[in-house]
Structure 1
Amino acid sequence: MTAARSTLSFETLIARIGHGLREGARWGLRGILALAIIVMAGMFAVVTAAVGLVIAAVAILLRLTTGGRQQGPQARKTKRPHTEADGITLDAHRTARGWTVE
């Protein structure tokens, strides 16, 4: 028994080619959209890293330029009380707002 052959008409051929082109275009657009999302995410990561580096550089510059205003941990300790001749004891220590004398 032989299989029946169907004739391929010109309209059917054009319809199949058109359908194939549409499917190819859909896959192509999906690929382009996926690549665009990946590129945008990469650009966002690079910009975020650059902003972080700028913030770190500004912090280092501020740390280096403040100089004498920021002192080590030993300067934060309470000074020894000084006794005057009449018996008054003064105790001075540094606070966030400046020196405090008690």
Structure 2
Amino acid sequence: MDQDHRFDDEDYPAYSMGRAAEMLGVTQAFLRNLGAAKLIEPQRSEGGHRRYSRYQLRLAARARELLDQGTALDAACRIIILEDQLAEAQRINTELRRDRDTS
């Protein structure tokens, strides 16, 4: 992948665990717990270190928000997964409508 495109790729694993935790204001243990709950599965660097994408950081931030509101971790993960699926379905629906209207 061209290095310039990495800045625009929300799935590029640009952030180390320490940097991701710092940006979110959470502990590294919190990020590990999200991985154990299967909400986010970070990629690994050649040295085996966890690397997070902007997309994963958004999911982690949403999890933090729900947990701060008193939602249990498993319920928060399910809510986030459903929200993500709904957003994707809406995106596809919009594309299909646009394609239908232009043909």
TM-score relative to the length of structure 1: 0.31
Higher relative contact order (CA 8 A, sep 6+): 2
Structure having the larger proportion of residues in strand: 1
TM-score relative to the length of structure 2: 0.31
